[in-house]
Amino acid sequence: MSSRAKLAVAVALASAFMLAVLGAAGFVAGSGLEGQEQAVLAAVLERRLGAVLMIVFVACVFLFLLLRAAHEFLVLPPARAAEEAKAMLEEPATRLTAQGTQELQDLIAGVNRLAAQHEARDVEIEARIRAANAAAEADRNRFAVLMSELAQGVIVCNMDGRVLLYNRRARALFADAAGQGMAVLGLGRSIYGIFDRHLIAYALEDITGRRAAHRHFVAATGAGRLLRVLVAPIPEAGAPAGEGAGPDSGHGLSGYMTMIEDMTESFDSESTRDQLLQNLTESSRGPVGNLRAAAETLYDYADMSAEDHQRFLAVVRDEAAGLAGRVEAAARKYAAVLKSRWPLEEMLGSDLMTAARRRIADRCALQVSLEEVDAEVWIKVDGFSLLQAMTYFAARLHDEYQIRDLRLRLTRDGAMAHMDLIWSGVFMSTETVMQWELDPMTVAGESSPLTVRDIVERNGGEVWFQRDHAAYRAFFRFLLPTFSGQQAAPSGAATAMVDSRPEFYDFDLFKDDELGLALDDRLLAQLDYTVFDTETTGLEPSAGDEIIQIGAVRIVNRRLLRHEAYEQLIDPRRSLPLQSVKIHGITADMLAGQPPIAQVLPIFRAFVADTVLVAHNAAFDMRFLELKEAATGIRFDRPVLDTFLLSAALFPNQETHRLEAIAERLGVSVMGRHTAVGDAIVTAEVFLKMLPLLADKGIRTLGEARAASEKTYHARIKY
């Protein structure tokens, strides 16, 4: 029973007791009187009845005020302190508020001192635990970095197909242009939303049947990408790793790992290369036959007439020219295939210059020195091909103009990096330079169908030849776009959306004991959640206000996955009131060109699939979604929990249940307020703090949480 209900019961009982006492006194006073006396008393009471009733009413009001003051001073402070003490169990840094009688304030001060001592001991214990787990944490970090930087996509699943781990490459492979990547791949989601269930089932059956270590298959994505997938089983704990693990060996499987490689580009390039070879072979058969026939005729009939001799020579010339043209065309196409396969990597320009100095000196027997190098210049290039181009220029300078000494220079000019190959004494013509740029490269016996111009264009730059007449020097200048070194090597600062090193794994999901239970019977701690928030044009969904932003984050296994976030601005197709702009800061210019709600809701529905929805004052957000159901056909029929109502169930004696007040009560920092994803993150952190408090109150399952929410006074709010 709430404290307010207890106050009402106390007032009613006290009033009834007072009336009973007055009635008993009147009965005792009138019972000894005789007829005349009773008539006099009755006449007096009849004349004074109003005054008597007024006295009784004033007495009842006085009694109510007295009891309410006693309740406010003696009952509510201990109740509020008890609620704050429960919150302190979850957030030890919080303290009880001094209130009530002096004795209670002394007790609260003692509890706060005890909490401070307990917190200090906890800090010391946590420090020791951190020190003891340093080695394990280092191993985990190395594992996370290894998984994150692998060139192949990696996804680890339990036997039900739920994703336990994925790396950055896997995330990139399944992120599409529509922004649905996180709705497809995420911790706790099913891999069968990516690959056909039967493909993986067949691979696992083949592995266990043949007692093999792995199995490959090829699959296509919805975007048309061709993927090569390796499936490897993960034995149960205690089972031998590698070949032989599986049902036939007496050991079960706890899950499986998939390694995914995008074959699309390599398949296309190999197909192009094969087609070039086939076309060159077929188109060369005729000319080669004609050349052979003409050569044999010239050899066998040396005494033929001059006219016939010239005619056969013309055949040889024409067929040879045609064959050379076909070979050259095939070489150009093959060079284009090579260019399309070049990887561009972020690197310091100074590292490339150092490598160029060493390579040119080794290959061309030249004296090479660094004249001026800007150590802060980052570039994104194919370093090997650029080294080839610079070495090729150096070799031609050495072979054709006997240049013995070269200097290398690296400077920045705005958004461009200047890489200069400098020499003294000899200038060549522009026509010669142009020919060098267009000739296939040959250096130290290594030939390539590529040209310097091919390489420079592929790296997004240009190459210039310039003369410095005053210094009697010339140089080749490679102009290349600069690249932000901060992007290439993150400093570790986190953003509101993504951690500095996102965690894409959760092996606790191997333990999944309650999947077969109905949702209402599932423990709150073992459910997956999507915590969301909306920003709108106003507060009246039924009067035409519209959603202008949706933000959401996921909670899996009681972990907030900030990197699996969804955020989208929406064009409301109506005017934006100034008062709403002052609250959320979203302007009409920001919404121009954004998708309408009909395009956003299917993507958001996919993002929240198979999760419980959580929001603060969820009735408001859900009403907007419900009103769009008829127009879009998208129904959000997932269970919903409201942190506003859960707070009312946990802290019935608190005066307010605003998100900021709950966050302060539970020790949650409020950042990014009145942005959809910012509010979603704060709500998610508040919800995670509530879970152990709900368990302490006996609210452990989803059904119990929904029932407790419905019993609160605030559950009657409608929009």
Q: How far is CA 643 from the centre of its chain?
A: 24
Report which of 569, 647, 550, 559 is spatially closest to residue 608, judged by C-alpha positions.
550
Name 190's bridge partners.
162
Could you tell me the maximum CA-CA distance found in the chain, to the nearest angstrom? 174
- Cα 104 to Cα 80: distance, rounded to the nearest angstrom: 12
Q: Is residue 657 domain-shared with residue 692, that is, in the same domain?
A: yes
Residue 219 in domain: yes
Give yes or no: residues 183 and 272 share one domain.
no
Do residues 552 and 685 both lie within one domain?
A: yes
Q: Judge contact between 692 and 650, C-beta under 8 A.
A: no
In a domain, 469, yes or no: yes
Q: Which two tokens stand for residue 27?
A: 């009965």
Q: Which of 162, 213, 228, 275 is nearest to 510 (CA)?
A: 162
Q: Is residue 507 part of a domain?
A: no
Q: How many domains does the chain have?
A: 5
pLDDT for res 685: 94
334's CB contacts (< 8 A; 6+ apart) are 273, 276, 449
Question: What CATH number is given to the structural domain containing 316?
Answer: 1.10.287
CATH number for the domain that contains residue 572: 3.30.420.10
Nearest to 678 by CA among 542, 480, 531: 531
- The token duo for 510 is 């191997």
683 in the same domain as 592: yes
Q: According to the model, what pLDDT value does residue 500 have?
A: 37
User: The domain containing residue 104 runs over which residues?
Assistant: 3-130
Let me know if residue 500 belongs to a domain: no
Q: Which of 619, 624, 661 is nearest to 641 (CA)?
A: 619
434 and 538 in a single domain? The answer is no
DSSP state of 701: B
Question: Do 237 and 273 fall within a single domain?
Answer: no
Spatial separation of the C-alpha atoms in residues 671 and 679, rounded to whole Å: 8
- Pick the last residue of a domain from 340, 359, 380: 340
Backbone angle region of 194, left / alpha / beta, with phi > 0 → left and psi within -120 to 50 → alpha: alpha
List, by residue number, the catalytic residues: 674
The identity of residue 43, as a single letter, is A
Q: How far apart are CA 676 and CA 593, in angstroms?
A: 19
Residues 329 and 456 in one domain: no
Cβ neighbourhood burial of 575 (10 Å; 0-12, 13-18, 19+): exposed
Torsion over CA of 255, 259, 260 and 266, rounded to 10 degrees? -160
Residue ending a domain, among 308, 340, 372, is 340
282 CB burial (10 A radius; 0-12, 13-18, 19+): exposed
Q: Are residues 690 and 642 part of one domain? A: yes
Pairing between β-strand 163-166 and β-strand 215-220 as defined by DSSP bridges: unpaired
Q: Please check whether residue 541 lies inside any domain of the structure.
A: yes
Taking CB atoms within 8 Å and a gap of at least 24, the contacts of 280-285 are 280/326, 280/327, 280/330, 283/326, 284/323, 284/326, 284/327
pTM: 0.55
Residue 153 contacts residue 170 (beta carbons within 8 Å): yes
**Residue 440's CATH number:** 3.30.565.10
Torsion of CA 384, 386, 387, 389, to 10 degrees: 130
Q: Do 159 and 70 fall within a single domain? A: no
What's the pLDDT score for residue 417? 92
pLDDT given for residue 180 in this prediction:
47
Do 584 and 611 form a contact (C-beta atoms < 8 A)? no
In a domain, 595, yes or no: yes
181-219 exposure pattern, b = at least 16 Cβ within 10 A, e = fewer: bbbbbbbbbbbbbbbeeebbeebbeebbeeeeebbebee
Q: For the chain (length 719 residues), average pLDDT per consecutive 10?
A: 69 77 69 67 70 77 80 76 75 77 81 82 81 74 70 87 86 62 73 85 81 78 75 76 46 83 66 68 77 80 82 83 78 60 73 89 89 88 86 91 92 90 87 90 77 86 87 90 56 35 55 60 92 92 91 92 90 90 89 93 91 93 92 91 93 87 87 80 94 92 92 72
Phi, psi at 407, each rounded to 5°: -125, 145
Angle 213-215-220 from CA coordinates, rounded to 5°: 155
Say which residues have a Cβ less than 8 Å from residue 342's Cβ, sequence separation at least 6. Answer: 382, 385, 458
Q: Residue 147 is part of a domain; what is its CATH number?
A: 3.30.450.20
496 located within any domain: no
Asked, for residue 503, whether it belongs to a domain, the answer is no
Residues 257 and 272 in one domain: no
Domain boundary among 130, 149, 182: 130
Q: Determine the Cα–Cα distance for residues 25 and 19; give it in Å rounded to an integer.
A: 10
Do 402 and 419 share a domain, yes or no?
yes
Say if residue 77 is in the same domain as residue 105.
Answer: yes
Strands 163-166 and 226-235: unpaired
